[in-house]
Amino acid sequence: MSDLKHSPGLRGHVTGRDLGCGVTVLFVTADEVGKGPKLHWHPYDELFVIRRGRARFTVGDEVIEGGPGDVIRGPAHVPHRFEVIEAPYEAQDIHLNETWIQTDIED
């Protein structure tokens, strides 16, 4: 399982393995504009459910801005990242896998 250093602002997570199901949920918060993870990918789809604030997502070659109530999909094996553009930002990131697996592309 990946450690918490991969996502600045990550407040906690629960793995599907711990719950006996096939999803892992990350609880993400950021109090500063410009915060967000480095470019990375997963071997499964990820859903970003935005509850508060706004962020600009790069998913492959596409740039998407999202705010409260939006759900953005990061497909399996497609590099993605986001940058907070309105803080405070809160989201639940749903990894469609029983564990969190992340490959960082940027240092």
Q: What is the pLDDT of residues 16-32, one digit of tens each?
A: 888 888 999 999 999 99
**The dihedral of CA 59, 61, 67, 71: what is its sign?**
negative
State the number of CA atoms in the 13 A half-sphere of 12 facing the CB: 1
CATH of domain 4-96: 2.60.120.10
pLDDT of residue 8: 47
φ and ψ at 17, to 5 degrees? -60, -40
pLDDT tens string, the chain, 107 residues long: the values are: 333 334 445 557 788 888 888 999 999 999 999 999 999 999 999 999 999 999 999 999 999 999 999 999 999 999 999 999 999 999 999 999 999 999 999 87
pLDDT of residue 47: 97
Integer angstrom CA distances of residue 24 from 84, 92, 95, 97, 103 = 22, 10, 5, 6, 16
**Ranges of each domain in the chain:** 4-96
Q: Which helix (H) or strand (E) holds 16?
A: helix 16-19
